[in-house]
Amino acid sequence: MPPHTQSQRRSRAGHHDDTEDPRRRRQSRRNNESDDPDASEEDQDGDVSMERAGDGTDDQLVKKLVRYALACEYARIPIKRDGIRDKVLGNNPRSFRRVFEGAQAQLQRVFGMEMLELPVKEKRTLKEKQKANARKASSQSASSRQYILVSTLPREYKSQSIIAPSRIPSTPEEAAYIGFYTMIISLIILNGGELSDTKLRRYLARLNAGQNLPMDKTDNVLQKIVRQGYVDKVVEKHDGDDDAVTWCIGPRGRVEVPPESIAAVVTEVWGELPNDFNEKLQRSLGVQALRQPQVEESIAEE
């Protein structure tokens, strides 16, 4: 074999060995690092730091949800799940349960409130009932996907001296507004859950609502309580006849004004109570016996 051929082979072999040595050294360093306990601790620290970063993100989302819930409640609009996903979670839709539970805990601990799901709006007209039956046939869950804030404070703290009406727009106007929609809800409940528009107008005339409401005209206030979900205005159209208008309880009204509050209002307005007053009131409200102390405490709350 020619000498120059042997030298070329040796040079190629030497060059190949030189290129493989760094690779072998890097591989050996990896093996050593994988066997080194200090390296695994560094990896664990890195994982912990990532978890902490995730927790920090959840904390910010929790605070954001709390602010969103308070803003919705201030405007008396429902806290919608779609709104939470769009305005709070953003690019973190899978964090809904963790963020929601964290916000609930913070609302209870700091503000004495919690988010309570609203009941599903009842279907009144024939068209609405047909749509509801179609949804049941398609096995859709009956969930409103809407929440409002309710107080979690003990009963002894639910007094006017502690929880006073809002100062915006003013305390007298807010107190009058609360009293007005509470009275309307009470009238509807005591009339079997539905009240015709003619009968409602008759009650409003007896209350002199046009003169006694300080915030706005009666029709505007009625539109407001419908928009905020305290009552529902059901309009059924009839061919050739006037539209039939019926007033019912809305989802927010069912939650914010329970039978105990209605009993307190009726007891306060009635004055001197007959002996069988509680029995008649229970039948009208469709509830079990209301203890007199509870009614008196509810009156204090109002």
Residue 142 reports pLDDT greater than 60 = yes
Q: How confident is the model at residue 297 (pLDDT cuts 50, 70, 90)?
A: very low
Residue 49 reports pLDDT greater than 50 = no
Task: Give the residue among 94, 110, 109, 111 at the shortest CA–CA distance from 58.
Answer: 94
**pLDDT averaged over the chain?**
77
Assigned token pair, 274: 């007959």
Residue 256 reports pLDDT greater than 90 = yes
When pLDDT is averaged across residues 175-194 and rounded to a whole number, the result is: 93
Task: Identify each DSSP E strand in the chain by its residue range.
Answer: 79-80, 113-117, 146-151, 194-196, 231-236, 244-249
- Of the candidate ranges 90-94, 141-145, 269-273, the one whose mean pLDDT is the lowest: 141-145
Task: Give the residue among 104, 111, 109, 112 at the shortest CA–CA distance from 153.
Answer: 112
pTM over cut 0.75 = no
When pLDDT is averaged across residues 222-247 and rounded to a whole number, the result is: 88
What's the fold here for domain 165-301? Arc Repressor Mutant, subunit A (1.10.10)
pLDDT score recorded for residue 288: 59
When pLDDT is averaged across residues 273-286 and rounded to a whole number, the result is: 84
Torsion of Cα atoms, 225 then 228 then 229 then 231, to 10°: 0
How is 248-277 classified by DSSP, letter by letter? EE-HHHHHHS-HHHHHHHHHHHH-SPPTTH
- Of the candidate ranges 22-36, 37-51, 177-191, 279-293, the one whose mean pLDDT is the lowest: 37-51
What is d(CA 226, CA 247) in angstroms, rounded to the nearest whole number? Answer: 9
Pairing of strands 194-196, 244-249: antiparallel
Residue 135 reports pLDDT greater than 90 = no
What tens digit of pLDDT does each residue of 196-217 get?
999 999 999 998 998 888 888 9
H, E, C per residue of 78-90:
CEEHHHHHHHHHC
Residue pair 196/246 in contact by the 8 Å Cβ criterion: yes
Which residues share a beta bridge with 196? 246
Which residues share a beta bridge with 113? 151
When pLDDT is averaged across residues 229-240 and rounded to a whole number, the result is: 86
What is d(CA 283, CA 292) in angstroms, rounded to the nearest whole number? Answer: 16
**Helix-then-strand count for the chain, H and E:** 13, 6
Domain ranges of the chain: 3-110, 165-301
Residue 226 reports pLDDT greater than 80 = yes
What is d(CA 170, CA 172) in angstroms, rounded to the nearest whole number? Answer: 6
